[in-house]
Amino acid sequence: MATLDPLPEQYQKQLQGKLLFTAKTDLLPNGHFGVQWIAITEEDIMVWHQEGPPTLRLKITQLKEARAVGAIGGGTLIVDTHEGPVVVGRYTAALTPVFNFAAKLLGALAKREELPVLSERDLPRNCPTCGNPLGEGTQICHLCAKKSTAALRMLRYAKPYRLQLVSAALLLILTTLVELVPPYLTKVIIDDVLQTKDMGPTLMLLIVGLGVTMLAMTAMQTVRGYIGMWVGSKLMRDIRKEIFGSLMRLSLAYFDRRQTSQFISRVNQDAEEMRQFMTDGVVFVCGHTLRIAAIFIIMCGLDWRLSLFALLPVPIIVAFSLTIWPRIGRLMYQQWRAIFRVNILVGESLQGIRVVKAFGREREEMTRYEEANADVMKKNIKTEGLWQIIHPLFSLIAGLGTLLIWYNGGSKVLHDEMQLGVLLALVAYLGMLFGPLQWVSQMINWVGNAMTAAHRVFEIMDTPSEVPDVDEPLPLGVVKGEVMFEDVTYGYEKHHPVLKGIHLQVKAGEMIGLVGHSGAGKSTFINLLCRFYDTDEGIIRIDGVPIRSISQSDLRKQIGVVLQETFLFDGTIADNIAYSKPDATPEEIMRAAKIANAHDFIVRLADGYDTRVGERGHKLSGGEKQRVAIARAIIHDPRILILDEATASVDTETERQIQEAIARLVQGRTTFAIAHRLSTLRNADRLVVLDRGKIVEVGTHEELLVQEDGLYRKLVDAQKELAQMKGAEG
């Protein structure tokens, strides 16, 4: 059993009867933050705010019922006594599960029913070590567990290509070393050949040497560039694959709360930025550090005192980078956000382009876009503008070192303390030294972009699925199709349950019709059965196995669904029908289409089964789309068939034909059908009537019809009335 906060001793002493439950609220009765203690014993409920006697004490015998009333950001535990409702305590949203349990417990006590047992899921999910909230469906605290930084994690992607990367690095070292040769040769040419005016074979030799080094450098750069490009492309593919994989793994609830168009840019842009860091960035950092070190050693060898001048600007550059760094991060995040908004806007407007046109809102959409667009421009100018300042500024600071060397070295040459060649070599090396230093700003840019991108990407990857597969899923095999809902409660938002205490047993092969008002929770019912979402309370079983312990791919193989919102992929009709069974033969595809009464209309199309349906199937009519979706649901011969308003958009005659075909198909298959047109459900073995998330009636059409004031009867009467009216009109 899960444990609760232990009641402080001073309160324990006041208890009478066996203690059943204790909890700590995080709000006071006046709605301010603060702690109250609640204890439930077999005899009464007690609430304390401070030491001393309880501020509230109620006998269990006074109770009729208890409820945890969810509100926004918090809730209230209310008990109904014979004298009227009483507030026991108030709490914030974090404690909702605890008080839901408390309400259940009190309700059971009041009605003398069997007491519920506290489970892990009733407790707030905080990390035991650091006290910060835990993510959904995990017991591992992100704060305590993960120590590796985004940079290290990013480098892990490079691991499979370490051989290539190491050779690139080796080449880089070689290039760097070779690069250092020409200034040295120049020095020799000036001091030993030009100054001595001793034209011999030396000059020719030196020039040949210069030429060879130049050639070698070009060759090595080409090879290295090629390796970088090759590794980069592969890395991009890996990262994109993983992001997309993570997206596919996430539950529907994740996408319910987000605009989906944002992910398009995430998959591409963020991956690109990460790649840039890993190939260019890492190579750059390593290469240039090495280069700086080597140059510095050579310079010191030439004249260490002058070389020290070169170092003067370095601390300035470093200090400057450090102060500017947080500001850049912030600007970059803002820029990203602005672009993100524009992307969402475009995605949304285009997806809804029909609605936009239907209401003639093109102009308004353009204004909305224009605003977001202008924002991007402003953020761009700000961020990029900063670069335009930083860049020349860095060059200027770095240039100061050169001035110092020219001045000091120049006077030394004039006083004959130094050879001209040495000075020229020093200046050349200094130029090479400050090249990379100026690039520090570019590096900051890259690293900054890559880190923000990496954080966003890892955020997706780290989000645990809200409907996780268990570690060792039970094998399911071919199921009979028995479905059992045991006291299932679910809310898309935890504090607002949409289905409450659903209890239903369905025999294998039974056809169940779900009816009820719009918003009653019918689609939610089947969403739970498909395990698009996990129940908040209660268990759903197929053939006695809880669906939580079945792997999702196994589960979906048993289920064929036609969803209320028909979605077709941009592809041919055949592709869409064969979506769940890509190896389906043409015969199978046609048979499925025939059952769905789609075969004839498809054949009449010029391109037949190879007709492209367009994005989301917009080239088909509403009813045609539905029939293709039905065919898609039945092609893989599921044991459980779910039809959510599957025939709502077809005329009654077509519907009758589809029904007949399905009737043949559903034999021996468990079927759940939702329909507002009640005649659709006349073949159902049992009808389940839902009202505001509760099952109010169950029975056959005839059984329910005789209940004079039943909801089903009302629905039927209303439709009859409507039908007569329509008849009279026609």
Partner 1 sequence: MADRYDIRLLKPDDVYLSRGEGGVLQGVVDGKPYDELIVHRTFPFRHPSAYISIRTTKDEELGIVRDIRELHSESAAELRKELQFRYFIPQVIRIDSIQRKSDLWLWKLQTDLGPTRLAMRNLHEHIQYPGGNRAILIDINGKRCEISDWRTLDSHSRRLLEEVL
Ligand X SMILES: Nc1ncnc2c1ncn2[C@@H]1O[C@H](COP(=O)(O)OP(=O)(O)OP(=O)(O)O)[C@@H](O)[C@H]1O
Between the alpha carbon of residue 139 and those of residues 8, 203, 640, 723, the distances in Å are: 27, 74, 33, 56
Q: Which helix (H) or strand (E) holds 75?
A: strand 74-81
Q: Considering the complex, what minimum distance in angstroms separates the CB of residue 518 from Mg ion?
A: 7
Q: Considering the complex, what minimum distance in angstroms separates the CB of residue 493 from ligand X?
A: 6
**Cα 100–Cα 104–Cα 109 angle in degrees, nearest 5:** 145
d(CA 308, CA 264): 51
Question: Which parts of 299-328 interact with partner 1 (CB under 8 A)?
Answer: 326
Q: Considering the complex, what minimum distance in angstroms separates the CB of residue 257 from partner 1?
A: 7
Closer CB to partner 1, residue 494 or residue 612?
Answer: 494
Segment interacting with partner 1 (CB under 8 A) among 143-151, 184-192, 302-310, 673-681: 143-151
Residues that bind ligand X (CB under 6 A): 256, 492, 498, 516, 518-524, 564
Q: Considering the complex, what minimum distance in angstroms separates the CB of residue 507 from ligand X?
A: 23
Closer CB to partner 1, residue 76 or residue 100?
Answer: 76
Q: Considering the complex, what minimum distance in angstroms separates the CB of residue 316 from ligand X?
A: 55
Closer CB to partner 1, residue 44 or residue 624?
Answer: 44
CA 532 to chain centre: 15
Residue with tokens 């019709």: 513
What are the tokens at 342? 């524009």
Contact 449, 277 (CB under 8 A): yes
Closer CB to partner 1, residue 124 or residue 473?
Answer: 124
What are the tokens at 590? 């046609």
- Over the window 506 to 545, marking each residue x when it contacts Mg ion by CB under 5 A and - when it does not, the resulting string is -----------------x----------------------
d(CA 619, CA 612): 8
Q: Considering the complex, what minimum distance in angstroms separates the CB of residue 672 from Mg ion?
A: 12
Closer CB to Mg ion, residue 451 or residue 687?
Answer: 687
Closer CB to ligand X, residue 320 or residue 492?
Answer: 492
**Cα 234–Cα 237–Cα 240 angle in degrees, nearest 5:** 150
What are the tokens at 437? 């230093």
Closer CB to Mg ion, residue 458 or residue 532?
Answer: 532
Closer CB to Mg ion, residue 299 or residue 498?
Answer: 498
Question: Rule CB under 8 A: is residue 85 a binding residue for partner 1?
Answer: yes
Q: Considering the complex, what minimum distance in angstroms separates the CB of residue 144 from ligand X?
A: 32
CA 718 to chain centre: 44
Closer CB to partner 1, residue 80 or residue 280?
Answer: 80
Question: Rule CB under 8 A: is residue 153 a binding residue for partner 1?
Answer: no
Question: Rule CB under 5 A: is residue 647 a binding residue for Mg ion?
Answer: no
**3-class SS of residue 530:** coil
- Over the window 115 to 134, marking each residue x when it contacts partner 1 by CB under 8 A and - when it does not, the resulting string is ---------x-------xx-
Picked from partner 1, Mg ion, ligand X, none, the partner binding residue 71 (CB below 5 to 8 A depending on kind) is partner 1
Closer CB to ligand X, residue 522 or residue 636?
Answer: 522
Strand extents, DSSP E, 440-544: 483-490, 499-506, 511-516, 537-542
Please enumerate, as own/partner, the contacts of 615-622 that have beta carbons within 8 Å and a separation of 24 or more: 615/570, 616/567, 616/568, 616/570, 617/566, 617/567, 617/568, 617/569, 617/576, 618/354, 620/568, 621/649, 622/566, 622/649
Question: Rule CB under 8 A: is residue 556 a binding residue for partner 1?
Answer: no
Question: Which parts of 563-602 interact with Mg ion (CB under 5 A)?
Answer: 564
Picked from ligand X, partner 1, Mg ion, none, the partner binding residue 492 (CB below 5 to 8 A depending on kind) is ligand X
Closest by CA to 256, choosing from 448, 467, 458, 108, is 467
Q: In the sheet that 537-542 helps form, which strands lie side by side, from edge to edge?
A: 499-506, 483-490, 537-542, 545-546
Closest by CA to 637, choosing from 667, 657, 601, is 667
Closer CB to Mg ion, residue 109 or residue 648?
Answer: 648
Which of 368, 412, 480, 495 is the binder for partner 1 (CB under 8 A)? Answer: 495
Question: Rule CB under 8 A: is residue 692 a binding residue for partner 1?
Answer: yes
Between the alpha carbon of residue 623 and those of residues 149, 295, 568, 670, the distances in Å are: 52, 75, 13, 24
Question: Rule CB under 8 A: is residue 285 a binding residue for partner 1?
Answer: no
Read off the amino acid at residue 25.
Answer: T
* DSSP label at residue 118: -
Q: Please give the full DSSP string across 26-61, using - where no structure is assigned.
A: EE-TTSSEEEEEEEEESSEEEEESSSSS-SEEEEGG
Segment interacting with partner 1 (CB under 8 A) among 81-89, 219-227, 505-513, 614-622: 81-89
d(CA 399, CA 395): 6
Picked from partner 1, ligand X, Mg ion, none, the partner binding residue 519 (CB below 5 to 8 A depending on kind) is ligand X
What are the tokens at 336? 């990203």
Which of 455, 503, 677, 720 is the binder for partner 1 (CB under 8 A)? Answer: 455
Which of 241, 258, 503, 682 is the binder for partner 1 (CB under 8 A)? Answer: 258
Residues 6+ apart with CB under 8 A from 20: 40, 41, 42, 105, 109, 115
Task: Give the binding site for Mg ion (CB under 5 A).
Answer: 523, 564
Task: Give the binding site for partner 1 (CB under 8 A).
Answer: 27, 29, 31-34, 71-74, 76, 78-79, 81, 83-87, 90, 92-94, 96, 124, 132-133, 135, 142-143, 146-147, 257-258, 326, 330, 337, 340, 455-456, 458-459, 462-463, 493-495, 692
